[in-house]
Structure 1
Amino acid sequence: MNLHHMLKSRHAEGRPVRVVLIGAGKFGSMFLAQVPHTPGLEVAAIVDLSPDRAREACRIVGWDDARLAATAFTDDGMAAIARTPADVVIEATGNPAVGIRHARAAIAAGRHIVMVNVEADVLAGPLLAEEARSAGVVYSLAYGDQPALTAEMVDWARATGFRVIAAGKGTKYLPAYHDVTPDDVWGHYGLTPQEAQAAGMNPQMFNSFLDGTKSAIEMAAIANATGLDVPECGLAFPPCGVDDLPHVLRPRSDGGILDKPGVVEVVSSLERDGRPVFRDLRWGVYVVLEAPNDYAAACFRQYGLKTDASGRYAAMYKPYHLIGLELNISVLSAALRGEPTGQPLGFRGDAVAVAKRDLKAGEMLDGEGGYTVWGRLMPAAQSLSLGALPIGLAHKVRLSRDVAHGDVLSWSDVEMDAANDTVKTRRAMEARFADVAQQHKPKLGVA
C-alpha cells in the first residue's frame, strides 16, 4: 500500500520510472491517459504499427506538446526495447507471436515485462516467466485486466487463511455464442455494423469476447498463475448474480455446480433464456471462499458477508475492472517492489481451438474471434494428451484434413511450420511443463 509513496521518492530524486509501451490501442490509450497525472512515471517510447496513430491517441487522451516531444514514437518494437533506457516494457499488442518475441527481448535487455497480451501469456507464459525469474527481472500479468485482479483476490483469500473454492470473472454468455462470427456479432452487442464501424470497433476482436475465447484464455491465465484447477469439461458459464455466488459456486456435494473445490469458472450475466441475471457480475471478478471453522463462519454472518444457506461458503467480488486505467499498479509494482501482479507459475490450463462449423481440408484458420474456430478452456494435461491445437496458433494455418463442427482441433489437423519461432517456443513450454501438468490432472469427485 505504499506504491505512491515509493514513486514520490523516485520523483523527488529525479529518477522517474521509465516505460516502453508497445501497442497504443484501447488498453494502451487508457494507460497513457493516466501518465500525465502520475508524477514520477514517464513513457520513454511508444511502439505502434502506425506511429502517427499513436501520437493522435496521446493527443486524444490529453497529452500536451511538451510530453509528445519528449517521447519517441516508432514502429520497431525490438529496437525500442534494446535502445531505450527503461525500467519496464508493456506488451499490449494482442498478437501472441509478437508478444513472445517482445517479452524475450525485454528479458534479454534486463527490463521488467508487463504482459497485457494474455494470448501470448497462455501460449507460452509459464516458460517466459521462468526465463524472467532466471534473468532477475519481473514478468507480470497486467493489473486492471481480469486475470491479475482475480489472482490478487485469490492471494488475498489464501493469505488470510481461507480456502479458495472458485475464482474467476463475469461475462455475457449464451451457448449459441460459440458459433457467432464477425458477420453477426454486432447484433449481440445491440449495435448496427455502421455504428460499430463509426466507433472504430474491430468485429473479430469483439467477437472473441462473445464466443467464449477470451474467457477461456483469461481463465487459463488465472489457473496458471494461482494453481487453481480447470474444470475437466470446460467452463460451464452458469447464470449467477453476485448474491448467489456462494450458492452456485460450491461443490456439487454441498448443492452447488462444481465437481470439486479449487477451480476457475466464469459466470454469465444472462439466464439461458436470455433474461438478464439480477445483480450480474458482467464486468467484474470474484472469489468464493470457505470458512475454516465455525468461528469464522459466525463472523461472516456478523459482518454481513453474503454466504450460502450453511453460512460456510462466502464470496468477495469486485464489480468492475478498468483495464489500462489501473495498469500503473503493475508497472510500479515491478519497478519499485520487484514483484509481479500475478504471473504463471505452472501449466494448469490451456485454451484450445474448437471448430465453429464443419471445416474442410485446405481451409485457412483465422484464429481468435474469427469465422472458423473458438477457444475452449481445457486442463493442460488433457490438452497435451490430446495433442490439442492452442487457439494462439490457430491463425493463418491450413487444415490438412476435415474437422467436424464442435470438435477440438489437434496439431495433426493443420500444416504447421515446425521451424517457426512461436511454434518452437510453445513446444519448448509444453516439454518443460508436461510433467507438472500431468501431476495436476483433474480428478473428479476429489474434495
Structure 2
Amino acid sequence: MTRAPIRVALTGARGGFGRTFLSQLRSIDRMTATQLIDPDVDGVRTLIADLGGLPDAEPIPGHDDVRWDEIDVLVEASGRVEAGYRYAAEAIERGIHVVMVSKEIESVAGVSLSRAARAQGVGYLPGDGDQPANLLRLLDWVERVGLEVVALGKSGEYDLVFDPATGVLEQQGERIEASALTDHLFLGDNIDKTLAARASVVAPLKRAAAADSCEMAVVSLYAGATADTERMHYPVARPSELADIYARRADGGIIGTDRTVDVFSALRLPGETSFAGGVFAIVTTGDPETWDLLAGKGHIVSRSGRYACIYWPYHFMGVETPLTIDALVEGTSTFAEPRHHTVLAARAARALAAGETFEVRGHHHEIDGVAPVIIDRADAVTDADDTLAAAYYLLSGARLVRDIAEGELIRLADLAGVADDVRTAFVEGVRL
C-alpha cells in the first residue's frame, strides 16, 4: 500500500525526459520525487537547482545506493538495457510499481517484466507522454466506441517544413533544395505516384530512426498490431492526407494488412501547425451522413468517405507521466497484457565481420551497421533458443561470433557478451 504522497524514484534523471517529469511533479501534491538515480550526480544536483529545488529529491549514483524500502513507484528512464532491466526487475521483486519509459527495455523484456509484476501483485505500464502509451490510449478510445482500425501510428519526431517561396525544405536545422516538391504538395489521383515523387525529393534527409521502430514494436506488444512491411512505409504526408494514404490498397491507399503500425514524415508549410510527433488511428467510417457531418466540422475524412483519421497531435514527455503513476496506484489501467506478436529484430545493413562489437549511439539510439526491423513472431521463433532472432537492443555491447552477410537476420547464436539475465528475459517473453 502506498503512502501519501506517492514516493517516486526516477532512473536516468539527468535526461530530457527527467527534466520534463520532475518539473511537472512540482505542481502535484499527491506525489513526490525522492531518489533521482543517475551516474551524473553533479548534473542531477544542477537540475534540482535549475528547477528551484525539489524538497524530497536526493541524487543517487547507482544501484547499490538505492533505498528500495522508501519507493512506491519506480520510473525507469535510463534508456540502458542491462542497467534499466535490473532496476525494473528488482523493483518488481520488492513489490514496487514500475513505469517503463525506456522503450528499448520494453521491446526486449517488457513481456517478461509485466508477467513478473502480475505475479508480485504490482503494476507495470509504459509511460504516458511517449508515443507508445499515448497511441495505446488513443487506440483504446477508438475501439471502445466500436470503430474498425485499419492502421495506427505516429509521425516522425521532426517535421519536414517546405517553403514554396524559396524551394527550401528543412528538417531539424538541416536544409536541402527541394523546389520539385511544389508540384507534389497535393496527392492527386495517384497516391503511390505522389508519395514516390516526394520520397525522391527528400531522399538526402535521414527520416527513419531506430527509436520509431522501437516505439511501434512496443505498441505491437500491447495492441496485437503488426507491421505492413518490416521497415514501415514512412510516407511523406500532410496530416490532412492521412485518411487517404493509409486506406487499404484496394481503395487506393498503402495498407495491405489491417491494424498495421506505421510512421509517417509530416510535411507542412511554414506557419502551419505541427503534428508534434503525435499519434493517429485510421478507421473505417460507416454511415455516410455521420461522417459528412464530421468532415464539415474539420475532421479528417478520406476523399472516398470510407476512412477517417483520428489523431492526437502531441506527446508531452514527462508532463503526462503522472497519469501513469495514478493508473498504477489506483489500478485503473485498461491496457492488455503485452505479448510478442512481433519482434524488433536486427538485420545487417552491410556485411558484418566476426569480432565486431555493437554499441548504441546517438539521440535516437541507433546501432551502426544494423537496421531495426519489425518481424512477425512466427518469423523470429525457432525450436532452439540460440537460433531465435535476436532483439535489436540485445546487440548493445555484444560481439559477433561469425560473419554476417548484408540483409541477413542476426540471431542469438551469432552473439557473444549478451547479459544472461536480459537474454533469459527476452527468450522467456518471446516464447510465451
Deviation string for 1:18-45 (max 9, x for gaps)?
A: 2111111111121111121112221121
Structure 1 counterpart SS, 2:52: coil
> Residues 270-349 of structure 1: matches in 2 within 5 Å?
281=275, 283-294=277-288, 296-335=290-329, 337-340=330-333, 342=335, 344-349=337-342
TM-score by length of 2: 0.81
Residue aligning to 1:195: none
Percent of residue pairs identical: 28
Where does residue 398 of structure 1 map in the other structure?
A: 399
Show the counterpart of 2:183: none
Partner of 2:428: 428
Asked if 2 retains the 8 angstrom alpha-carbon contact of 1:267 and 1:281, the reply is no
Q: What's the counterpart of residue 76 of structure 1?
A: 62
1:250 matched residue in structure 2: 247
1:36-75 map, 5 Å: 36-63=26-53, 67=55, 70-75=56-61
Query: Is the contact made by 2:127 and 2:321 (CA closer than 8 Å) also made in structure 1?
Result: yes
Task: Report deviation, 1:79.
Answer: 5.0
Structure 2 partner of 1:220: 217
- Alignment partner for residue 102 of structure 1, among 83, 87, 99? 87
| Separation in structure 2 between the aligned mates of residue 165 and residue 370 of structure 1, nearest angstrom | 31
Secondary structure class of the residue paired with 1:234: coil
Q: Secondary structure at the match of 1:132?
A: helix
Contact 1:229–1:263 under 8 Å retained in 2? yes
C-alpha distance in structure 2 between counterparts of 1:280 and 1:188, whole Å: 12
* SS of residue paired to 1:320: coil
Counterpart residue identity of residue 404, structure 2: V
Residues 344 and 264 (structure 1 numbering): CA distance in 2 closer, same or farther, change over 3 Å? Answer: farther
The answer (yes or no) to whether the contact 2:158–2:172 under 8 Å persists in 1 is: no
1:190 to 167, 173, 183: 173
2:148 corresponds to: 163
Write the deviation string for residues 285-307 of structure 1: whole angstroms up to 9, x where unpaired: 11111224445434433543211
Displaced runs of 4 or more, over 6 A: none
Q: How many Å separate the matches in 1 of 2:171 and 2:296?
A: 42
1:141/1:342 contact within 8 Å kept: no
Write the mapping of 1:375-414 to structure 2, written as runs, cut at 5 A: 375-385=372-382, 387-414=388-415
Corresponding position of 2:10: 21
* Preserved CA contact (<8 Å) 1:81 1:89: no
Structure 2 gap segments, 5+ residues each: 160-169, 176-205
C-alpha distance in structure 1 between counterparts of 2:43 and 2:151, whole Å: 41
Question: Quick one: distance in 1 between partners of 2:174 and 2:50?
Answer: 24
SS at match of 2:282: strand
Cα 1:280–1:402 change in 2 (3 A) is farther
Q: TM-score, normalised by structure 1?
A: 0.78
Structure 1 residue 369 displacement after superposition: 1.3
Shift of the 34–343 alpha-carbon distance from structure 1 to 2, 3 Å rule, reads farther
Asked if the contact 2:276/2:315 (under 8 Å) is kept, the reply is no
Distance 1:153 1:224, change over 3 A: same
> Residue 74 of structure 1: CA displacement?
1.4
How far does residue 82 in structure 1 lie from its aligned partner after superposition? 2.2
Partners of 2:138 and 2:243 lie apart in 1 by: 15
Moved more, 286-295 or 50-59: 286-295
Task: Return the offset for 1:354.
Answer: 2.4
Aligned match of 2:187: none
**CA 1:258/1:45 → structure 2, altered by over 3 Å: closer, same or farther?**
same
Match of 1:203 in 2: none
Deviates more, 1:293-302 or 1:235-244: 293-302
1:145 maps to a residue whose letter is D
Cα distance between partner residues in 1 of 2:172 and 2:297: 38
CA distance in 2, matches of 1:357, 1:280: 35
Change (3 A) 1:172 1:52: closer
Is residue 149–residue 285 contact of structure 1 (8 Å, CA) maintained in 2? yes
In structure 1, give the amino acid aligned to 2:30. G
Structure 1 position 399, deviation (Å): 1.4
Q: Which of 325, 347, 354 is matched with 1:354 structurally?
A: 347
Structure 1 vs Structure 2 CA RMSD: 2.9
**Does the 8 A contact of 1:44 with 1:72 survive in 2?**
yes
Contact 1:354/1:408 (8 A) holds in 2: yes
Aligned to 1:360, the other structure's residue is in SS state: coil
Q: Distance in 2 between matches of 1:370 and 1:270?
A: 27
What is the distance in 2 between the residues matched to 1:237 and 1:350?
19
Distance 1:56 1:173 in 2: 29
3-state DSSP of counterpart to 2:358: strand
Where 1:49 maps in the other structure, the secondary structure is: coil
1:221 partner amino acid: V
Cα distance in 1 for residues equivalent to 2:275 and 2:380: 29
Question: Aligned partners of 1:296, 1:79: CA distance in 2, in Å?
Answer: 59
Q: Secondary structure at the match of 1:347?
A: coil
Are the counterparts in 2 of residues 30 and 324 from structure 1 also a CA contact under 8 Å? Answer: yes
Per-residue Cα deviation, 1:388-435 (whole angstroms, up to 9, x for no partner): 221111122221222233433222332355x71111111111222xxx
- Counterpart amino acid of 2:40? S
Query: What is the distance in 1 between the residues matched to 2:296 and 2:208?
Result: 41
The answer for the alignment partner of 1:239 in structure 2 is 236
Deviation (angstroms), 1:339: 3.1
Which amino acid in the other structure matches residue 400 of structure 2?
Answer: L
Higher strand share: 2
Partner SS for 1:37: coil
Distance 1:173 1:257, change over 3 A: farther
